[in-house]
Chain A
């Protein structure tokens, strides 16, 4: 069953001072099935973040529309949780208060909130840090809190915009396993944007590859690797084969993007 439908969505940014408009996204159609984990893979500047922002309702498509459960997306809302690449925890709230933010906005009573918060604090492994300020946390811990904050709201779909992009390789690997673990247990619909090929394969049941600007869908590849997955998967032949294939796909685009800019 299709949970999210991106239907003929394109985006142009108006040009400045005589320059023509920038075509960020060419019209594209993507369907995301319920409880599917799809990654959108593309070189930097290919419009993949624009696509995600349009799904989140933070940006408007120039043409086309986004449907979630058959309802058109008109703006941002709690049904589409988002984790950003930049650290967006509210610095004046503690870890627990950050996680409870969406629940509090909804008017949920304190006691109910506390139970949900405690649950997610342990899911992302932040027990003992509930009363820390974001500034006292490492980058990885901040992003774990951000994931917990988005999930605590129980969104229909979770959107992640290169959430581990600023983390070191080791931390990133651990975060991928944590996120995948949560998805394997809870079954959520997830759309994850990245430029990291290994990350795209490891997490996804489907990888959508985008071209360099203007962004179009270049390939839509099913990742048929078994669950539950852990870091061992990254060294299996099946994984390497997929990685080789995607590397070819994305390399041509990266070269194109690099010569253009």
Chain B
């Protein structure tokens, strides 16, 4: 193997799949071979059967729907607040000086630690779930967007000035389009984090959702269901990631030309 030598497209796919095959093989070996107690780790077949039952008998589709809606609801709310604020902070230094210390501080507040407080304030309903996602995402997006906008190439800004652009034109027609792909990338990244917050939010005080199902399964020692739930989360994350990338490709052809 040579450093940085590119890998062929077929080999790339085969290698990627190989990992999952080996993972399943190791798992099967440990469980079917009797090396791990069934109580603690279900075997792959049990996991699949449990998964099937979840869909057919326990309405798991509804749980998935609830979780997806919470993630996207909270995430979209966070993006609506954070992207414009991040742009304003990145472009205008007094605005940045005003918000930056607080946002930097708030960024380190763990969203999960707010759950007890949010339950007191908002109960165990949807508002509380959305707020967890919101708190977990909003500060991250603000800071990263501000950083990206603030890092706009100076020579592009200067070129726009010499072409007669005014201050607002600089923000709207230089800083924004120049950084739009990066902002999309930031949103994709933070959406991934939002998925971890939603499960935590659903572990406590929820009556639906994938996280709720996982807690329920724990009390029944149904490890197959837990693993199935975790895999479902991974698959949904993978799909949303893929969609995000596909949309970026359509929105920013200049980046990929």
Given A84-B155, A133-B257, A135-B254, also A92-B163 (CB < 8 A):
no
The reply to whether B163 and A101 contact each other, CB–CB distance below 8 Å, is yes
Asked if B160 is at the interface of the complex by the 8 Å CB criterion, the answer is yes
**Cβ-closest chain A residue relative to B170:** A105
Chain B residues with Cβ under 8 A from A88's Cβ?
Answer: 155-156, 158-159
The reply to whether A105 and B156 contact each other, CB–CB distance below 8 Å, is no
Given A90-B177, A102-B164, also A82-B257 (CB < 8 A):
no
- How many chain B residues touch A (Cβ–Cβ < 8 Å)? 22
Smallest CB separation, B160 vs chain A (Å): 7
Chain B residues with Cβ under 8 A from A207's Cβ?
Answer: none
Asked if A150 is at the interface of the complex by the 8 Å CB criterion, the answer is yes
Please report the number of residue pairs spanning A and B whose Cβ atoms sit closer than 8 angstroms: 76
Residues of A in contact with B, size category? 20 to 34
Interface of chain B, main secondary structure: helix
Asked if B62 is at the interface of the complex by the 8 Å CB criterion, the answer is no
The reply to whether A153 and B257 contact each other, CB–CB distance below 8 Å, is no
Smallest CB separation, A190 vs chain B (Å): 14
The reply to whether A92 and B155 contact each other, CB–CB distance below 8 Å, is no
The reply to whether B180 and A92 contact each other, CB–CB distance below 8 Å, is yes
Contact of A86 among B155, B164, B166, B257 (CB under 8 A): B155
Asked if A80 is at the interface of the complex by the 8 Å CB criterion, the answer is yes
Roughly how many angstroms separate A88 CA and B160 CA in the complex, as a whole number?
9
Given A88-B156, A90-B156, A91-B254, also A80-B162 (CB < 8 A):
yes
Asked if A78 is at the interface of the complex by the 8 Å CB criterion, the answer is yes
Smallest CB separation, B251 vs chain A (Å): 10
Chain A residues with Cβ under 8 A from B161's Cβ?
Answer: 57-58, 75-77
Roughly how many angstroms separate A93 CA and B161 CA in the complex, as a whole number?
16
Asked if B29 is at the interface of the complex by the 8 Å CB criterion, the answer is no
Asked if B147 is at the interface of the complex by the 8 Å CB criterion, the answer is no
Chain B residues with Cβ under 8 A from A76's Cβ?
Answer: 158, 161-162
Asked if B68 is at the interface of the complex by the 8 Å CB criterion, the answer is no
Smallest CB separation, B146 vs chain A (Å): 20
The reply to whether B254 and A81 contact each other, CB–CB distance below 8 Å, is no
Asked if A149 is at the interface of the complex by the 8 Å CB criterion, the answer is yes
What string of 1s and 0s marks CB contacts (under 8 Å) between B129-165 and chain A? 0000000000000000000000000011011111111
Contact of B162 among A58, A90, A136 (CB under 8 A): A58
Roughly how many angstroms separate A146 CA and B155 CA in the complex, as a whole number?
13
**Cβ-closest chain B residue relative to A132:** B257
Interface residues of B in 65-87 (CB under 8 A from A): none
The reply to whether B178 and A101 contact each other, CB–CB distance below 8 Å, is no
The reply to whether B159 and A82 contact each other, CB–CB distance below 8 Å, is yes
Chain A residues with Cβ under 8 A from B12's Cβ?
Answer: none
The reply to whether A82 and B178 contact each other, CB–CB distance below 8 Å, is no
Given A133-B254, A135-B257, also A105-B173 (CB < 8 A):
yes
Interface residues of B in 169-210 (CB under 8 A from A): 169, 173-174, 177-178, 180
Roughly how many angstroms separate A82 CA and B254 CA in the complex, as a whole number?
24
Chain A residues with Cβ under 8 A from B178's Cβ?
Answer: 90-92
Contact of B165 among A92, A105, A149 (CB under 8 A): A105
Smallest CB separation, A162 vs chain B (Å): 13
Roughly how many angstroms separate A136 CA and B162 CA in the complex, as a whole number?
24
Roughly how many angstroms separate A183 CA and B180 CA in the complex, as a whole number?
38
Asked if A5 is at the interface of the complex by the 8 Å CB criterion, the answer is no
Interface residues of A in 57-109 (CB under 8 A from B): 57-58, 75-78, 80-82, 84, 86, 88, 90-93, 101-102, 105-106
Roughly how many angstroms separate A212 CA and B38 CA in the complex, as a whole number?
82
Roughly how many angstroms separate A213 CA and B254 CA in the complex, as a whole number?
41
Using A76-B162, A78-B162, A88-B159 as known contacts, list a sample of 18 further A-B pairs with CB atoms less than 8 Å apart, ordered by residue number in A.
A56-B162, A57-B161, A58-B158, A58-B162, A80-B162, A82-B162, A84-B155, A84-B158, A90-B159, A90-B160, A91-B178, A92-B177, A92-B178, A101-B165, A105-B163, A105-B165, A133-B257, A153-B164
20 contacts between A and B (CB under 8 A): A58-B158, A58-B161, A58-B162, A76-B161, A78-B164, A80-B162, A82-B159, A84-B155, A84-B159, A88-B156, A92-B180, A93-B177, A102-B164, A102-B165, A105-B164, A106-B164, A133-B253, A135-B254, A150-B162, A153-B163
Contact surface of B with A, Cβ cutoff 8 Å: 155-156, 158-166, 169, 173-174, 177-178, 180, 252-255, 257
Contact surface of A with B, Cβ cutoff 8 Å: 56-58, 75-78, 80-82, 84, 86, 88, 90-93, 101-102, 105-106, 133-136, 146, 149-150, 153, 159
